[in-house]
A and B are shown apart, each in its own frame.
Chain A
């Protein structure tokens, strides 16, 4: 067990990892990295390393779950046993089942589910390494996987958390801040529609602090959104370049 740090913000106003209160961790995103999936994405958000893959639209299994008027979106959030300090049992925990549900509900509003009746799309998320804020990074990657699979969407969904440590509202908590800090507010957002598709909170926040945290998280989402779009474009730029080389 690591000792709990007493202060999460130093005298200069910097956090344990040297960030300013409203600063994101470094984010790196790649799209289309799994050859068997219809769409896929990999995200490194700070020390979080997460893979997401989308399969479909395809026939539903079991068949009775198919819906006559729409596509069914399914989602599995799963953590690798080696992703955290103490080995996590590979069996799905109650936390993972809840997160799978809220992640699915965060992605659903973005997808034109009525375009593909009787089909299903499966999104699988594997957390390879966790360091706080995995549900948010998972949503950012999963939405890209859906886009990469060519599924018609209203907007990309992007997620980021804000929280409270040492009486200050800060952006994008990492593991220690999440555990020692006093509140965590993950938010998923569709920037073009101004739509919040996931909102959770634990800890204690005064209503004004909650408002500030939600607004701060949404600003964080907007920043990651740019990286998300960039990652998607990069994949297709590469394909274009390859084609040009072949033509020559």
Chain B
């Protein structure tokens, strides 16, 4: 997921971080500007476009009928997929999803699934036989770092914008009727990613910082402020102390974002 960055630039980023500064003028614990636009794709049941600085992610939600998993016969199904579209970065290549896009999709999935954001019981048509399947497709349109937070934000924004088709069951078949109802949501998880550069934690790393940092820590928080997903990434490590510091910082930033989003 990396492109070329000069050594001079890497040094510069590191030296600035030592002085608690960043190349784009942000403080260490500051997000880039966030813009959320909902309902941008009319043909999708729900959609949202998120700009996190120059990082741009589009999420579309489609709803279809399918069969439930045998161990959860009364629950609708959530499927998250992520595409690192080749037009988003010179390092993205066409082809089947690689480990980066799979990891991205699974982190977004975990935040939504574990916070029980979707009231899946209300998506049951016929227990054990027919339920609604919610497809969340993450489309990365421009890669300028921290795809995880942008994707997670866009996914939840798209779900909040999702309309379920009204239906009735006739002879075991689902017949779509006129009109829509809101997709039932119980929680609105917020995901915050931290990077570690020179043993300092920074919020919302952008592309060049991602190439300098040795590891990242992602945490998702539900409406009550409890943690619902965590993922460490990158080839470095965190000390026990840094993990706890990171948790507190992420918690603070998530609460701040939640206020801003009014979720």
List the one stretch of B51-59, B132-140, B161-169, B227-235 in contact with chain A.
B227-235
Q: Which residues of B contact A215 (CB under 8 A)?
A: 240
Interface centre among A197, A202, A203 (most CB of B within 10 A): A202
Which residue in B226, B231, B237 is a CB contact (below 8 Å) of A196? Answer: B237
Among candidates B105, B110, B114, B226, residue contacting A207 with C-beta atoms closer than 8 Å: B226
CB neighbours of B103 from chain A (8 A): 98, 101-102
Residues of A contacting B227 with CB < 8 Å? 201, 204-207, 210
Among B26-34, B147-155, B174-182, B243-251, the stretch that binds chain A is B243-251
Q: Which residues of B contact A1 (CB under 8 A)?
A: 70-71
Chain B interface: which size bin? 35 or more
Q: How far is the CA of A37 from the CA of B235 in the complex (A)?
A: 25
Does B106 count as interface, using CB distance less than 8 angstroms?
yes
- A201 surroundings in chain B (CB, below 8 A): 219, 227, 229-231
Any B CB within 8 A of the CB of A181: no
A204 touches B239 (CB 8 A): no
Query: Contact at B237–A109, with CB atoms within 8 Å?
Result: yes
Query: With A and B bound together, what is the CA distance between A206 and B226 in angstroms?
Result: 5
State the CA gap A108–B248 with chains docked (Å).
Answer: 27
CB of A227 within 8 Å of the partner chain: no
Residues of B whose CB lies within 8 Å of any CB of A are 70-71, 99, 102-103, 105-106, 110, 113-115, 215, 217, 219, 222, 225-240, 242-244, 247-248, 251
Q: Which residues of A pack against B, CB within 8 Å?
A: 1, 94-95, 97-98, 100-102, 105, 108-109, 185, 190, 193-207, 210-211, 214-215, 218
9 A-B residue pairings within 8 Å (CB atoms): A98-B99, A105-B235, A194-B240, A195-B237, A199-B230, A200-B230, A202-B110, A207-B251, A211-B247
